[in-house]
Amino acid sequence: MSHLLEVKDLEVKFALRFGDLTAIDGVSFTLDKRERLGIVGESGAGKSVTGFAIINLLSKPGYISAGKILFEGQELNQFSEEEIRKIRGNRISMIFQDPMMTLNPVLTISTQMVETVLAHHNMSKSDALDLALEKLKKVYIPSPEKRLDQYPHECSGGMRQRIVIAIALLTNPSLIIADEPSTALDVTIQAGIMDLLLELCETEDMGLILITHDLAVVSEVTEKIVVMYAGKIVEAGSTEAIIHDPKHPYTQGLIKALPGSLQPGSRLYQIPGMMPNLTSIPRGCAFHPRCTISDTICRKEAPPLISVSDHDRMVACHLVK
């Protein structure tokens, strides 16, 4: 069976004066049609870079140094800029964190939406406008006709993010990559945006990659999770399994560190130290200096990502059997 998206041994490097810096090191995962995947990790783990790499949006000095990205059977990383443009924003849409930054402040909503449609489809302007209206209705924007003539600053943060989602939907993509889509929003607005994404994946036949630092959000929306640390996948599996039975010490720490899982007022579990800088990733397992159970082997050898217990479960830890 062919997957919607297959990322195979992806390696992303940044060419710097003093040599290449490895930001993503051998990341592999697959996504089927209509499947929802969460990429979780803290800042600097490489989640966003992974998202950018998929649609070839890495800005210099970043580049894909190895690996394959297969989307609907096509090898995206071999595409020229011209060819990737037919995929990006068309078959694969992206939603970013800050809707104020992604919308152009000096263009009306309708101009931006029509522009997107016309960039990918050959249709009349009035047809494009109808399509824009239809998508705005889909994301539950009240009085969408009025919104079309407004500028981004006239809309609230949640409304803007809905508009961004509507723009992403214009071309009927089969995959949406959402990079921290609700981080800048209030909880009530976030809940609405997440409900909307979930609903759209089902009604519009889309796959979703949700990139976020928030395990709780991911657990409500996705079916499977990839946990990243210092450019590598440390654990992958079904959302259910990862949330209820985390195997990797880092995943366990992340879950235990969340307030809400413990008795109120008790000390929160804290992972000692912090995520290493890319220039000084520790030898062996990158997590070993922060790990409570690390052993001599952890300091020497990087653990491979191997499957454990059930079929879908992958863990990169020497000490997890």
- Binding-site member from 32, 72, 204, 214 for another protein (CB under 8 A): 214
Axis-axis angle for helices 157-169, 187-203 (nearest 10): 10
Do residues 36 and 42 lie in contact, with contact meaning Cβ atoms separated by under 8 Å?
Answer: no
Smallest gap from residue 147 Cβ to another protein (A): 13
Choice between 107 and 255, CB closer to another protein: 255
- Binding-site member from 189, 305, 308, 319 for another protein (CB under 8 A): 189
> Sign (positive/negative) of CA torsion 230, 235, 239, 241?
negative
Smallest gap from residue 289 Cβ to another protein (A): 13
Do residues 206 and 263 lie in contact, with contact meaning Cβ atoms separated by under 8 Å?
Answer: no
- Conformation bin of residue 183: beta by default, left when phi > 0, alpha when psi is -120 to 50: alpha
Does 195 contact another protein by CB under 8 A? Answer: yes
How many angstroms separate the Cα of 228 from the Cα of each of 28, 43, 64, 304? Answer: 11, 10, 18, 14
Does 259 contact another protein by CB under 8 A? Answer: yes
Distance CA 265, CA 270 (A): 14
Does 262 contact another protein by CB under 8 A? Answer: yes
Distance CA 272, CA 213 (A): 18
3-state secondary structure of 6: strand
- Binding-site member from 101, 258, 293, 306 for another protein (CB under 8 A): 258
Smallest gap from residue 253 Cβ to another protein (A): 6
Number of residues that bind another protein (CB under 8 A): 45
- Binding-site member from 271, 291, 316, 317 for another protein (CB under 8 A): 271
Does 293 contact another protein by CB under 8 A? Answer: no
Residues contributing to the site for another protein (CB under 8 A): 42-43, 142, 156-159, 186-192, 194-195, 213-217, 219-220, 239-240, 243-244, 253-255, 257-262, 264-265, 267-271, 274-275
